[in-house]
Amino acid sequence: MSWILYGVASPAVFAAVNHLDAHIVNKQVKGPEAMPLYTAIVVFVLSVVAFLAAGLPNLGLSGLVITLSGFILMMAYVFYFRAIAVGDAAFVAAMIQVSALFTLVLSVVFLHERLSASRWVGFFLIMGAAIALSLKSVDGKLRLGKAFWPMMMANLCWAAAAVLVKQAFATRTFLPILAYEGFGVALGGVAIASSRSVRQAFRTSIRESGRRVILLVFANEGLSFLGKALFFLGISLGPVAIVSALGGVQPFFSIGYGYVLAFLLPQVFPRPEGGRDLLQRLFLSGLLVAGIWLCR
């Protein structure tokens, strides 16, 4: 049953990545434009390592499909970093779970999977909880937060990538899939680097951030790669649907990390919401987990 540990460890790692991303984007690099290129560099290096460790595997057409999924994954990172720049880490961690809803819809449309009654219930639970989490009071009126739409676009890209790579897990390979998807992410980074504004933001971040911050960025991107590796390892050993559903616990890890980081480093990480707001966020996160479980 080690796949359960991997399935839980992955969202635990990603929740930590969310908090560090929020700190880096808002306090260190100060802007989301350059961040995807850091992701592409780290993922490419680690993918080469995985490719060599796997014995230079040739996945043929499946490899091309997985690479395409990685390319789309890079587009998701672009929107994710935009969201993390305007939304707190716990909210982003919760909104990431909406990708399960998009995955369900795309699976029904393109893979002709059946939409059972329980999946319909899960669909509305996820959507309702996501919208409720996103609502903010502005001048006495409820409006969607600034991070809502960037996260919706990120979730759509994540879902498209998941649907593309879904069939590859039938081979029960781990490192080859990780490597090929990483190569796709790197290709996406090359495409993004064609933008002059992105290249300028990247150069500016390197010039102004300093060595310590750059090392922190690369370390956090490596941590993100570890989270993905744990997820792939989990679904290579256990049921894909259940391991994927275990990712729904990420918001709870993120909320817990928020309090721990604020206690240990109050000068760096702000204290998260408490009282009624905390209970509301926990309740809505619970609805997200229930919806994901029903959609699995």
Q: How many CB atoms lie within 10 A of CB 114?
A: 7
128-159 burial, b at 16+ Cβ within 10 Å, e below that, comes to: ebbeebbeeeeeeeeeebebbebbbbbbbbbb
Amino acid at 20: L
Q: How many CB atoms lie within 10 A of CB 214?
A: 15
d(CA 287, CA 296): 14
Mean pLDDT of 205-222: 87
Residue 14: in which H helix or E strand, if any?
helix 2-23
| Cross-strand partners of 101 | none
Integer-rounded Cα radius of gyration of the chain: 19
pLDDT for 162-200, tens place per residue? 888 776 655 556 788 889 999 999 999 999 999 999 999
- List all residues 6 or more positions away from 50 whose beta carbon is below 8 Å from its beta carbon: 175, 176, 178, 179, 182, 229
pLDDT bin (cut points 50, 70, 90) of residue 4 is: confident
What is the reported pLDDT for 137?
63
Mean pLDDT of 1-5: 78
Domain boundaries, the chain: 2-295
What is the reported pLDDT for 265?
84
Coil vs helix vs strand at 140: coil
Q: How deeply is 17 buried, as exposed, middle or buried, from its count of CB atoms within 10 A (0-12, 13-18, 19+)? A: buried
User: What pTM value is reported for the model?
Assistant: 0.87
